Structure 1
């Protein structure tokens, strides 16, 4: 026997003794299922990590950032609410030109609108200094005031509004009017408009006292508390002025027998 023959005989198994490798290779379907399960597990783990990171950010990092900056959630919430409140006062004041013919009403509307716009600007600056987003209503109110509150601005009959949805509120909260209530005032003119506008401003201004008072007692940031105190002081003065003009034109509180 040659060396080649011996090697062949030693390494070649009988045909009946060939190893069966079928069980060592998993079916393709089982492999695909396992792969999908591993992918799903990775996706779920990634999603859980995102959720945990968000909870950490909301529960730890945000309060820590506020603490380091010297303000609280109550301070930032007040600034946002007060901006929306003053923004609506600007919107109401902008209705007067073109609807009122009373010089006192027109002058008062400009005063209220400009004062409210100034408060929006101060509150927006407070938020921006702390890298907090300014409500859209505030930016739009400032744009409305910049166009001039002493001249009639073009509108579609419901008032010169800076943008649709500028006030996404339901009304009845802190004296805020609903869009439907603003529309009803905008549909009037002459003395009916004057009385409706000034009556709405009285209720609206009084409503702004509550969030400001809460900030004064519960706020942390000294600047925010000072803005709230300035708001309270200004509201009390403005309400007296509005009620005086309202009474003079025969609205509620007048002494000529035409008001209630």
Structure 2
């Protein structure tokens, strides 16, 4: 019985050392929790060069609500303006960002992480509750001005966030960063011209 106790203690110690060892590896892979990195490492069917890192997942956790607000802002345009340019832009933004939200949710799901970070990271360009309320209450040209001003800042915040993963070792994450930077940079220039023309 004495030996059995020591044998169990020894097995427990080995298991604990193994767990610590694995935890150390996951930290090096990007600071994600062990489930996220270990599950992510099994994504053999993913077109990525490697599993999503902790930074990739953190980016997705931040960008999902950021993109969702852009979609919400653009949905408001459908009933608050008749400006064809603003309506076309709003549709373009929704058509691009809604699928990207689904894509990033799939990253998080595949890694075993949560879409909720549990704390505020201070995402750049997000409209405050007061700004969203003002946008909801605006109509016509007043809406167009608030929408364009808000979306320019929103896009600028997204460009800053995209730099987190523009050099990711995961090909899907890297491609998404490149797409966001290219499309939203072009949209910023377009919106600035539209704002000047109002």
Same fold (TM over 0.5): yes
* Preserved contact between residue 174 and residue 204 of structure 1 (Cα < 8 Å): yes
What residue in structure 2 maps to residue 232 of structure 1? Answer: 181
- The answer as to 2:149 corresponding to 1:199 is yes
What residue in structure 1 maps to residue 46 of structure 2? Answer: none
User: After superposition, what is the alpha-carbon deviation per residue over 1:198-231, rounded to whole angstroms, capped at 9, x for unaligned?
Assistant: 11000100110111112113x3322212211211
* Total equivalences in the alignment: 164
DSSP 3-state at the match of 1:205: helix
Aligned-partner Cα distance in 2 for 1:237–1:117: 18
Structure 2 residue aligned with 1:78, among 59, 64, 67?
59
Correspondence 1:71-220 to 2 at 5 A: 71-135=52-116, 173-217=123-167, 219-220=168-169
Aligned-partner Cα distance in 1 for 2:119–2:136: 18
5+ residue gaps, structure 2: 1-15, 25-33, 43-50
CA gap 1:216/1:102 in 2 versus in 1, 3 angstroms: same
5+ residue gaps, structure 1: 1-51, 137-167, 250-260
Larger radius of gyration: 1
User: After superposition, what is the alpha-carbon deviation per residue over 1:73-127, rounded to whole angstroms, capped at 9, x for unaligned?
Assistant: 1110011111111111001101112211212212211111221112212222222
* Preserved contact between residue 81 and residue 141 of structure 2 (Cα < 8 Å): yes
Correspondence 1:53-72 to 2 at 5 A: 59-60=23-24, 61-62=34-35, 65=38, 68-69=41-42, 70-72=51-53
User: After superposition, what is the alpha-carbon deviation per residue over 1:160-187, rounded to whole angstroms, capped at 9, x for unaligned?
Assistant: xxxxxxxx99796311111221111111
What residue in structure 2 maps to residue 221 of structure 1? Answer: 170
Greater helix share, 1 or 2?
A: 2
Aligned-partner Cα distance in 1 for 2:194–2:134: 21
CA gap 1:89/1:63 in 2 versus in 1, 3 angstroms: closer
CA RMSD of aligned residues (A): 3.0
* TM-score, reference length from structure 1: 0.55
* TM-score, reference length from structure 2: 0.71
- The answer as to 2:195 corresponding to 1:246 is yes
